[in-house]
Amino acid sequence: MYKVALNFEDGVTRFVHTLPGETVADAAYRSGLNIPMDCRDGACGTCKCKSESGQFEMTDYIEDALSDEEVSAGMVLTCCMRLESDCAISVPASSEVCVRSKQEDIHGQILELNRLSDSTLSFSVAGEQVKAMHFLPGQYVNLHVPGTDQKRAYSFSSLMQESNGSASFLIRVVPNGLMSTFMTESAKVGDDIKLSGPFGSFYLRDIKRPILMLAGGTGLAPFLAMLESIKATGTNHPVHLIYGVTYDSDLVEMEKLEAFAASIDNVTVSACVASEESAWPQKGYVTNHIDAAHLNNGDVDIYLCGPPPMVEAVSHFMKEKNIVPANFYYEKFAASSH
């Protein structure tokens, strides 16, 4: 057996012993520490941490979950990490979250279903089990596609609504997609649906400095929940959201964003459209609209949720500007092709 020190971002360290051949993630779960994890087989990257010391073996993961560059920088996937000595790793989450967060199957019913555009729909789920769920603004769940053994990951686009015990989501409509087809052709209010979660280390931390939020497409969802949280607590630091989409028709929830900006001191929002055919005033990609003031000479926390090319583009932009942010939290996703 080897011992691993899990150093959480709130300064707390917990020690876990691994059994022979056991992964760090499984050892942590066996010890009651729910470190961020989803797939358990090196495919999603949710359990990504930073190795600080020690020897280990890490195999059977895909590059989309952990790139060669990240490996060179000392990043690891705890679901594929088997110790060969005592080790220490940094976990990008607070110890409180990993003790309190409990991933489980939850049954609820569709409360609302709204087509926001040709490319996007929103829906909310309610029920006693849903109301009892604890999640942080920015986290996600796996939704089980009714009638299949498949599931899809979606971020919460709201906090828990105490009035009716519901939580909301945004979904990109994918032609012939399993969830898209169910939602657009079969789903109706009152239908049962199962969720698993919550998952993810992408969530709003305590605001200690300016924040730059970058949303791509339906990657807007977690930011809607974050802004709802900020509205409830307020902030003394500037928060700026840049929302980027491909076509004008992809812009959704603009009234909600404008309402957040109007009602929360220190919060501003903007949106841009990549298509050259766009009639929207601000064109191009989110990186075209990041000002020096948003970066605050590096004393900024950046939150990004969007497809992998967007994450890579923003990382490249930061290197070009020679800016190293205080913290860079990101959730990259790719829409399922079916």
Residue carrying the six token digits 């596609």: 145
For residue 250, give the DSSP letter. G
Residue carrying the six token digits 């075209």: 288
- Give the whole-angstrom CA distance, residue 287 versus residue 285: 5
pLDDT, tens only, 149-189: 999 999 999 999 988 999 999 999 998 899 999 999 999 99
- Give the whole-angstrom CA distance, residue 33 versus residue 36: 9
- Give the whole-angstrom CA distance, residue 32 versus residue 159: 26
Model pLDDT, residue 291: 94
82 forms beta bridges with 23, 57
Q: Is 58 helix (H, G, I), strand (E, B) or coil?
A: strand
Yes or no: say if 48 and 26 are a contact pair by the CB < 8 Å rule: no
- Give the whole-angstrom CA distance, residue 282 versus residue 284: 7
pLDDT, tens only, 61-70: 988 888 888 9
pLDDT, tens only, 90-143: 999 888 778 755 667 899 999 999 999 999 999 999 999 999 988 899 999 999
Phi and psi (nearest 5°) for 75? -80, 150
Residue carrying the six token digits 């876990």: 16
The structure's pTM equals 0.86
At 338, the amino acid letter reads H
